[in-house]
Structure 1
Amino acid sequence: MKKIYFSLLVCLAFVAQAQQKYLTLSKEALHDKIKGGWAGQTIGVTFGGPMEFRYNGTIINEYQPIPWYDGYLKKTMIENPGLYDDLYMDLTFVDIIEKEGLDAPVESHAKAYANAGYALWHANQAGRYNILHNIMPPQSGHWLHNPHADCIDYQIECDFAGLMSPGMPNTASQISDKIGHIMNYGDGWYGGVFLGACYTLAFTSNNIEYIINEALKTIPKQSEYYKCIADVIKYYKLYPNDWKKTWFALQERWSDDIGCPDGVFTPFNIDAKLNSAYVVLGLLYGKGDFTKTIEITTRCGQDADCNPSSACGILGTMLGYSKIPAYWKIGLAEAEDIDFKYTTISLNDVYGIGLKHALQNIERNGGKVSGDKVSILVQKPEVVRFEQSFEKVYPVDKIFVYKTLKDEYSFDFEGTGVVIKGVAEKKDKDSPDIVLNTEIYIDGKLLEKIEMPTEFRTRRHELFWNYELPKGKHQVIVKLLNPSAQHDLRINDIIVYNDQPNTEGNQKIYRFGQPKQIKP
């Protein structure tokens, strides 16, 4: 009986081994694809840079020229280095892996990015502030601590996770779970998981539709992110030759933002869902053509530099560096030795480092490296856990304030949550940076003491937020504890939230703390 049992185990082992799929390619071919991914990102962000958030809620028509010429890449990298957050953010995490290995703790990544010299925005900046104030990941990215949890941030930084995990979407998801929650949660995290998976699958297939459909298997079907990307695929099948019809269909259903305070009740949208949809739209309608992909993705508008960077990074990985059209690599060679600002890493550096990390990851996950031959144990995409930001949280009103606080400011609202948008700043550029200390009282109770740095790099992106208040009427008092003649604390506007969307025709709208009855 024992012999039969042992024989059965051996047979099962052979069957399991036979079911494992290996992708074998030369080290040179692998390197070419990794180079294509990094170069594609750089080309895409450079091309879309002039259009970034200049066209919100509208298409950039074909008659609007977008510059591209020999020397433009080098000129932009030198004169506008801040444009390349898509790259130097990735490189922060690449550098930590290079220094501390594949198992570098999330604290190392979090502290490196929080203390880096570059400016940040949205989820990244909120995450930075949290870390500098001892709210560490994953709480630093959680929507209760980060009003920008669903924003695009990790989506534009996930490229390294995919490029170091060729053919291994689940391995990329594990990396994204650790690092993506530094600044994002829910749909914001899913943006990085999905695009990271697209990168991994671009090593294994030249079929864009296959890459996208397989990558989407990593995302829970009940999530809004999944539904949005599924809509892109659906509309692409309905309108295979007209990307603008798909764009308008997406705009109608997915353009409302409930999280990011800068995007609520405005055309501005930096939400991961919609901007990921533009990446997928460009890839599908581009049909593997680099020019069509970069043009369409950019002309979708909104984050029109990050989106073509992601699309061209994925396509560049699929094609490989050697097959990116010469037109788009014009002037690239002279830019490849320039260190990205705030780093000591150039494109040529990361081409090599990226290959090194990929080979390490391949061997760690069942693959083999022998001389010039690389065998990758290809993974079937597995769904990650379900997360939902801003559950039962709906923006219902906006209070316009634009007031410089001298001592205190009060207002009333009715709902279950509130975000106070404000900023601390110097009146004169030569004034020293300080921290303005504030207190927030709701219904007579001190709810939070808040530090508001005037230094832009360490600023708090919003003055205050809370999405878990008892439903009903509330009074808020904002107190400035240390007024300064050289500095201002400005309250811009206030977003009011409730546990149900505003659907009634007869609504109470509050302006500057005074109720006003709006009749149908």
Structure 2
Amino acid sequence: MKNLFSIFLNVCISFIIINCGDFQNSRYIEISKAEYEDKVYASWIGQIIGNIYGLPHECQYIDSHRPDSLRNFKYSEYHLKLMSEIDGAFSDDDTDIEYMYLLQMEEKGVEPSYIDLSKAWVNHVRDRVWLANRAAVAAMKNGLQPPLSGSKKFNPHWFQIDPQLVNEIWAVTSPGMIRYASEKSKWAAKITNEDWGVEPTIFYAAMYSAAFFESDIKNLISIGLESVPKNGVFYNTVIDVKNIYKKYPDFNDWKEAREELYQKYYVNEPIETKTMWNANLNGACGILALLYGNGDFLKTLDIAAGLGFDADNQTATMSGLLAIANGFESLPKNLMYPFKENKWKKPFNNFYKNITRYDLPDIEISEIINKTIKQAEKIIVLNGGEIYEKSNDIYYKINTEADFSPKLEIAIEPFIYFEIGKELNYSISATYPNNLIKWTVDLSALPDGITFENGTFSGVPTIPGVYKVIIQSKFNDQENLNFITFNILNKNIARDSDTKIISSSKYTDTLVMDKMWITVAKNIFSKDVSVINDGKIYGNNSVFYSINSKKNIQKNFYGYTWNDTKTISKIIFSTGTMEENGGWFQNLNIEYLNEKGRWRRILKPVEITPKFDKTNNFVNKAHYMNYLIQFDEIKTKGIRINGDAGGGDHWHEDSKDYFFTSIAELAIY
């Protein structure tokens, strides 16, 4: 009787679960555990191959394509030597954050919170981190939680490539659940990016999730298009790339296609987002590589490297995608076993060595696969799927209509200030759009002149003071209680008519700066220190760098003097953007002019909010931080901040051994 029931059950399942070819139009689809395991294994090995193969080509070809001939399928001598010494594969930023996220799912649950992932970033990511990722982890280290860490306000790299190289794990663990994978990846991408900067990540997630059931490249690209905003930035870019490919369909014409892509998405890119690491530009390269490769692993790998820009992302991500679509047997054996003496019995000796992240364990690759499968099984069941036996094999029934609903989280800035008599407009940062959240605020606690609606405070404050406001937020069955503190200050004395700016550097040495490895958009820079009291922190000509030709630690100071005596008890120091080789103070002192006109340090307790980081490590330095500096009231005709400029070591020859600071505004109260 039991066997008859099993036969009946399997017959019923065969009617309600659709095969792979029809999966997009089906509520439920199935895949065997054996096939899923093969594709997961392939995805990790594929990404490792693509990552290591692509590293020598990273940021090497900007104004032109790869100069050497293609079809040169071998690793660099340096990376071969490293793999030989390690006796396996090694971590890099195209795989290590995914590994970190996998461990977080294992520890915190398959849908961890922003707070969970933020703690992981702060703990594990201590060096070898760049651009939007670097800006985000520095923000998190300084009290700015996601999604603030990826916002335009605090992350000048919000449009860079970073999220599309660290978030594939969310799709690998949600096979066939395209909407779930896309939304989860979008949510995670906002840790580091915003706006169209997250669109390639969404696109990739949709393709990755679909590739477990679809191998045709053009179909996968169409699925990706359906996942991103129609007529959005990346949507239009993909359409454009497809048209460029149609214009040059022959494989040997890829260089002509690359030139058109280069002109449109690099040469003519607006200055605000023109970098070799631009997410849209590199996403375009990824799609072009897929089209020319047409499902062939090696051709796609080769084109992805040859197109240039931040090429190792494209080689890693597209290799992982094709590995899922075509399975483990499609992977090139010479790149899994790169040593002639056949020293390894399994791909990369079944070993993944962590060389990039603090306190992440080395691990066997097979164990990474096991961990990935376990998390996927939980996600499948959590979202209305099933795990069952059929014909002595384990199968997964997958709900293709699953949605991702993140935890309701509110991110509050550590220090928020406004001036009396000036327009206040402040929107709360949350995981859901503010207009979809039900808000409750104690209106009596608001500053006079301020109203609240749909998560936004607005109005003109009239009375100075510190206002602590309780905010209750609710979305569906989730509720949160948060506190937000507004510091309403008097008039900024630095804007008085008799103010004279004083500083250690009045102008940026642009000859030195133009040779440096500068990562932020150049439109934000002012060559003149006079911007520090123009009332503007963001945008064009808003940030001053104290770069000069000296190669030694220097004292930097910024401040003001006046004809008349001023009463002062507060300073707000707004940093500008931070570079990898400088931009910060290593220490900070407050000095004032005494009655004899001499500079004296304030020795009484000086309180700085948020806590001021005194290291010389660029990973700890957040962009656009506002520091409230408080001290006992003094009467003086001059005040300044003073300290040792940060910087020094850097891999780029024209950037090393320089020390400088970055400032957007210095306000006095």
Alignment deviations for residues 36-73 of structure 1 (CA, whole Å, 9 cap, x no partner): 11111100010011111122232103437574389966
Change (3 A) 1:40 1:484: closer
**Within 5 A, what are the aligned runs for 1:78-477?**
84-119=92-127, 120-241=129-250, 242-255=253-266, 256=268, 258=270, 264=274, 268-331=275-338, 333-341=347-355, 342=357, 343-344=360-361, 345-371=363-389, 372-379=394-401, 395=523, 399=527, 402-403=547-548, 406-408=555-557, 420=577, 422=579, 435-437=586-588, 451=612, 454-456=615-617, 458-460=619-621
Identify unmatched segments of 5+ residues in structure 1: 1-14, 387-392, 411-417, 427-432, 440-447, 466-477, 496-520
Is the Cα–Cα contact under 8 Å of residues 165 and 358 in structure 1 kept in the other structure? yes
Distance 1:144 1:167 in 2: 35
CA shift for structure 1 position 107? 0.6
Change (3 A) 1:486 1:233: closer
CA shift for structure 1 position 485? 11
Change (3 A) 1:424 1:206: closer
CA shift for structure 1 position 136? 0.5
Alignment deviations for residues 336-370 of structure 1 (CA, whole Å, 9 cap, x no partner): 22333332244222111111112222222232211
Q: What is the match of residue 643 of structure 2?
A: 482
Higher CA-based Rg: 2
Alignment deviations for residues 233-278 of structure 1 (CA, whole Å, 9 cap, x no partner): 2212222112222222211111155577xx75xxx51011011111
**3-state DSSP class of the match of 2:210?**
helix
**Within 5 A, what are the aligned runs for 1:59-70?**
59-63=65-69, 67-68=74-75
Distance 1:190 1:244 in 2: 26
Q: What is the match of residue 507 of structure 1?
A: none
CA shift for structure 1 position 408? 3.0
Distance 1:486 1:126 in 2: 16
CA shift for structure 1 position 281? 0.9
Distance 2:306 2:36 in 1: 31
Alignment deviations for residues 442-463 of structure 1 (CA, whole Å, 9 cap, x no partner): xxxxxx9995654436332657
Q: Which amino acid aligns with 2:110?
A: L
Change (3 A) 1:226 1:362: same
Distance 1:356 1:299 in 2: 37
Q: What is the match of residue 509 of structure 1?
A: none
Q: Higher RCO, 1 or 2 (CA under 8 Å, sep at least 6)?
A: 1
Q: CA RMSD for the aligned pairs?
A: 4.2
Change (3 A) 1:425 1:398: closer
Q: TM-score, normalization: structure 1?
A: 0.74
Which shows bigger deviation, 116-125 or 143-152?
116-125
* The structure with more strand, counted as a fraction of residues: 2
Say which of 4, 22, 32 aligns to 2:28.
22
CA shift for structure 1 position 482? 2.4
Distance 1:233 1:158 in 2: 25
**3-state DSSP class of the match of 2:371?**
helix
**Number of equivalences:** 442
Is the Cα–Cα contact under 8 Å of residues 164 and 358 in structure 1 kept in the other structure? yes
Distance 2:144 2:589 in 1: 19
Change (3 A) 1:276 1:422: closer
Distance 2:612 2:262 in 1: 38
Is the Cα–Cα contact under 8 Å of residues 150 and 191 in structure 2 kept in the other structure? yes
Change (3 A) 1:380 1:251: farther
Is the Cα–Cα contact under 8 Å of residues 235 and 246 in structure 1 kept in the other structure? yes
Distance 1:449 1:117 in 2: 21
Distance 2:247 2:156 in 1: 35
Is the Cα–Cα contact under 8 Å of residues 42 and 327 in structure 2 kept in the other structure? yes
Q: Which amino acid aligns with 2:199?
A: Y
Which shows bigger deviation, 63-72 or 223-232?
63-72
Q: TM-score, normalization: structure 2?
A: 0.58
Distance 2:223 2:403 in 1: 7
Is the Cα–Cα contact under 8 Å of residues 581 and 647 in structure 2 kept in the other structure? no
CA shift for structure 1 position 78? 5.5
Identify unmatched segments of 5+ residues in structure 2: 1-14, 19-24, 339-345, 405-430, 434-520, 528-544, 560-574, 591-608, 627-638, 649-656, 665-669
Is the Cα–Cα contact under 8 Å of residues 579 and 618 in structure 2 kept in the other structure? no
CA shift for structure 1 position 91? 1.0
**3-state DSSP class of the match of 1:482?**
strand
Distance 1:213 1:33 in 2: 21
Alignment deviations for residues 393-421 of structure 1 (CA, whole Å, 9 cap, x no partner): 993877486326532369xxxxxxx9655
